[in-house]
């Protein structure tokens, strides 16, 4: 059995995978998991770490350690995972990324432009277009704070992208599932923020190239280093090639995994099928056997008043 832990409102990311007949995969919210005293023997995958509040993140890290002490397999230690700001700084200092990032909660400000604003947590996309200088950045920060976005959440990220064809940008992705590295299909978009993509804009040559990438996984070993740097055992890294160099934008610990879809281009259909089959195989490898049916745990929040209050509260609402 595999248990994927998510925030309550973001379990949809793995629902298609939970329907896969080759897997015994179950979804559980942190709200439920934090209140358990006995859990089924399973492999536990901790996701959505950037969406957790402080006490939730600490409880998740304590739960992770309880499961480890019980002899269960666990992926993504909540206390060690590098989240967006730290990871991007690590990638810049490690010579993997050419672009930098600045926290607007620090005294340091960008020394290279253009930049754009985004938040350190969650996956809401960018907050601004490209900001060409310090004055434009200050105005954008003030506008974001006026809207109620906490300043400590604001990041200025240096622009680093280039079109794969005139007027067309491409985002690539690689999954890590335990020790397996799996190339995903690409996102093609007319704007540099290639998040969801635009259907029908990619050329046949790009779909053929995508199929090659999915089959050969040419970036897998480089991305393995990035995942290891971030202490992430499960997730999806999003990146692009800029001036021939790989540039990593983020690692999502709760990536959307959908069943193969229809598409008018046969190469894209082939790519969907390959990615899905490899993901299912990788999850199946995580589903180890255990002689025990259950494991006893206790988060014991009594030593931490804040944690005790959190557990006692009625948390029926989720943002």
CA gap 2, 74 in Å, rounded: 10
Find the farthest-apart pair of alpha carbons in the chain and give their distance in angstroms, rounded. 63
Q: Which residue has the tokens 């290891």?
A: 228
3-state secondary structure labels for all residues of 58-96: HHHHHHHHHHHHCCCCEECCCCCCCCHHHHHHHHHHCCC
Q: Do the beta carbons of residue 293 and residue 41 sit within 8 Å?
A: yes
Per-residue model confidence as pLDDT tens digits over 137-158: 999 999 999 999 999 999 999 9
Rounded to an integer, what is the distance from CA 276 to the centroid of its chain?
18
- Tokens 């998740």 sit at which residue? 60
Nearby residues of 307 by Cβ (< 8 Å), 6 or more positions away: 55, 58, 59, 299, 301
The pLDDT tens digits of the residues spanning 58-74 come to 999 999 999 999 889 99
User: How many Cα neighbours within 13 Å face the side chain of 171?
Assistant: 20
The answer to whether residue 54 scores a pLDDT higher than 90 is: no
Instruction: Render pLDDT for 247-304 as a digit per residue (tens, 0 to 9).
Output: 999 999 999 999 988 889 999 999 999 999 999 999 999 986 555 567 777 665 554 5
User: Mean pLDDT of all residues in the chain?
Assistant: 90
- Domains in the chain with CATH codes: 2-80+293-312 (3.40.50), 100-158 (3.30.1490), 169-286 (3.30.470.20)
Q: Phi and psi (nearest 5°) for 232?
A: -115, 120
pTM (2 d.p.): 0.91
Residue 258 is encoded by which pair of tokens? 């959908």
The token duo for 14 is 């793995």
pLDDT category of residue 318 using cuts at 50, 70 and 90:
very low
| pLDDT given at position 311 | 60
**CA pair distance 100, 81, nearest whole angstrom:** 19
């Amino acid at each position: 059995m595999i248990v994927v832990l998510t925030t309550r409102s973001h379990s949809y990311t793995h629902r298609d995978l939970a329907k896969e007949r080759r897997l015994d995969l179950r979804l559980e919210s942190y709200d439920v998991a934090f209140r358990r005293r006995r859990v089924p023997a399973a492999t536990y995958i901790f996701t959505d770490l950037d969406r957790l509040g402080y006490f939730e993140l600490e409880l998740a890290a304590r739960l992770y350690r309880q499961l480890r002490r019980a002899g269960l397999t666990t992926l993504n230690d909540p206390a060690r995972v590098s989240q967006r700001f730290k990871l991007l700084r690590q990638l810049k200092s490690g010579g993997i990324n050419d672009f930098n990032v600045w926290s607007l909660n620090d005294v340091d400000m960008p020394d290279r432009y253009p930049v754009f604003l985004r938040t350190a947590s969650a996956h809401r996309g960018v907050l601004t277009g490209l900001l060409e200088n310090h004055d434009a950045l200050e105005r954008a920060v003030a506008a974001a704070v006026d809207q109620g976005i906490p300043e400590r959440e604001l990041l200025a990220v240096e622009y680093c992208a280039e079109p794969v064809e005139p007027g067309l940008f491409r985002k690539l992705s690689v999954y890590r599932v335990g020790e397996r590295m799996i190339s995903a299909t690409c996102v093609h978009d007319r704007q540099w923020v290639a998040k969801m993509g635009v259907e029908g804009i990619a050329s046949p040559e790009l779909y053929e190239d995508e199929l090659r990438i999915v089959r050969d996984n040419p970036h897998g070993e480089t991305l393995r280093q990035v995942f290891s740097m971030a202490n992430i055992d499960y997730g999806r890294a999003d990146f692009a090639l800029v001036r021939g160099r790989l540039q990593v934008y983020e690692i999502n610990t709760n990536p959307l995994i959908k069943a193969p879809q229809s598409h008018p281009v046969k190469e894209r259909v082939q790519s969907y099928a390959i990615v899905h089959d490899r993901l299912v195989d990788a999850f199946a490898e995580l589903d180890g056997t255990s002689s025990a049916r259950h494991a006893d745990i206790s988060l014991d929040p009594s030593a931490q008043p804040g944690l005790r209050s959190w557990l006692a509260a009625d948390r029926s609402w989720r943002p």
